[in-house]
Chains A and B, each alone.
Chain A
Amino acid sequence: MNLLDLVIALPALGFVLALLMPRTQENAIKMLALGVSLATFVLSLGLVNGFQSGQTGQQFVTDNIWIASPEIHWHVGIDGLSLWLVILSTFLTPIAILLSWKAIHDRAKEFFAFVLLLEFGLVGVFAAWDLFLFYVFWEVVLVPMYFLIGIWGHDRRIYAAVKFFLYTMAGSVLMLAGIIFIYLRVGTFDYVQILAAISSGHAMLTHTEETLLFLAFFLAFAIKVPLFPLHTWLPDAHVEAPTAGSVMLASVMLKMGTYGLVRFCLPMFPTAARENASWIVALAIIGIVYGGLVALVQPNMKKLVAYSSVSHLGFVVLGIFSFTQIGLDGAVYQMLNHGISTGALFLLVGFLYERRHSLAIADFGGVATVAPWLSIMFLVTTLASIGLPTLNNFVGEFMVLQGSAQANFSWTVFASLGVIISACYMLWMYQRVFFGETNEEVKHHVPDLSLREWACVIPLVVMMVWMGMYSQSFLPVVSEANAKILDQSKMNVPLRVAAPRMTEHAPPDLSRPPVTAAAAGGRADAR
């Protein structure tokens, strides 16, 4: 059992312990949940510490047989792509617990237990290297989130929770069919072996099979991202969820979709991914602009932030399907940025809600005069979200736009509109909520940040500045992992008669050295 196993297992243990506690001990349960999640976070920092840069492939690997027939492994490990997503999950969970401290009284035991179960699933999704295990974690995440929205949400919570569950379930059953199909073709669920079999040509998929499998996986991920036009569950889920639910949903769960695209869709189905890139990019750009425009007219703060997520994740998908190193790096970086800054936005909106019991922009005004610190923190987050240089989102958006420009300049032109629109809706909301005349309700009910709230906000703001000022702390390992994924996603292009049109769009060859001698040999033979 290595450190990574521990990071996965600890939240599960916390979940069981929390369930065993008597429900009257509300404070003890909260302390337990906070303690477990903080311990998990500290342990996960050990992953960063022990992570060997320069090694491609996974680290902290455990590979044990879970079920003998069909052979299913407990195969977990992390590479540069999953490292930061695991950290993002463990980083945000204690914050989500802390921010619910006062807000959740009703059935507190279940609430905190579910948050821990959610963490277990999320870390597992990013660490799994066995397709079956990945699917298991993918579904495990669904259950606690369903309850978090459905029990502790706002008025239309039931509708939102059921919609959320069914959308995701519909996508994932097709992915399950795809996973089983690949298993039958390759004879294993082990992702490393599957990739080796596919790239070496041992498991040739016909063009139709590859396209259909790509679509099966893509649909599951695109629903989760969510990509326009599959995004309709998101505003409902976000608006109705309790603050902690919104934070976890926006910051980490949506990344499951984009992570899946990078991790599975590109390397396993390189040809199909490239052939279908054009319409996917078109949808991503529509999402960027559409999400922004819809956000502009929202009267509800949470809904506004939710639509801004649709827009931001459009950037991520654009970066992924630009098939350029810098675009992909930017996409991954943008996943983390969005996790931090949108998480912070939901958190701050949640604070406002706790004070005023309303999410309507019109119910606020002049908050800056009564709660200056809250306003400043909100301002920093707003500026980060619209991509102000020196704050985190700028780096990611810039890289994505640069990558898309390398692939096709017209994409960049349209996507840039999204940056402008985001400035409009965010600043306009900020102006209406924090400036102007202070109304009576606000004057009496909106105190400034409490100590506990400071503790939630500060880590996020620090990360925004850090990630904006010194992206080199994070990007090198991401780049290494992405380089390998890009290489794998090219692998089959010379083997098959790819559509010639696509090679025009293909990015300039970054002439990276081949990953392994075996893979290079395989390619040379094929030529």
Chain B
Amino acid sequence: MSKRSMSKCSMPMRVAVAAGLSLLAAGCGDTGEASGGKTLTVFAAASLTESFTSLGTTFEASHRGVKVRFNFGGSSGLAQQIGQGAPADVFASASPAPMKQVSDESRVFARNRLVIAVPKDDPGKVTKLADLAGPRLKIVVCAEQVPCGAAATKAFAAAGVRVKPASQEQDVRAVLTKVSLGEADAGLVYRTDAKAAAAKVRGIEFPESAKAINDYPIVALPKAPQSALAKEFVQLVLSAQGQAVLAQAGFEPASPG
């Protein structure tokens, strides 16, 4: 039932999104567009912002006249937008569940694991996951509905640690905000997030994170307006060059082989 009403919505949605994108293009006044260049639209999880932006520049450099445009956001929100007909060429998700709503053809291109983020001065003196159960500590984690929260729950279960969080945040960035402002004594974030915010928080690795590793799948969408370019972009992400950029951001390679 919901499928049918979705397709009902898709036309106006498509028009609206297209109008939005062309406005963007007009606003940027880029010349590639005017000279008949192509635009590749990549929907990617927010945690990929830095590494994918850099790969986008690489892609543009090797494909003359091609602009790569990104829509970074929460994976499930992006999946819903694609479901409603947003004109995306590539979708990279931070966990398999949102990807399943969009495509079964995806490939895992990176993995991310959780670390404990603490404020620079570490007021809670946290060194291991079990420390987070301390009754006096204010702990923030992601809500279970979002991938980082599901991973946190798995990690706590694997370690047999019972934590009473002060808050279940809507995404990793919100956890980072609370920790970097010192409102929370510790929080669980992805290693890549801790690395990106290294000026404000310290990331502590913990062995139980191995039990809660997030796979990042990517797919060139079957209905992609630029399907050839979409496949090439996915190739770039999977290539040694792409993997090096991701590794630098703190991602682990997809399972060997």
Same complex for A and B? Answer: no
Point out residues on B near A: beta carbons under 8 Å: none
Point out residues on A near B: beta carbons under 8 Å: none
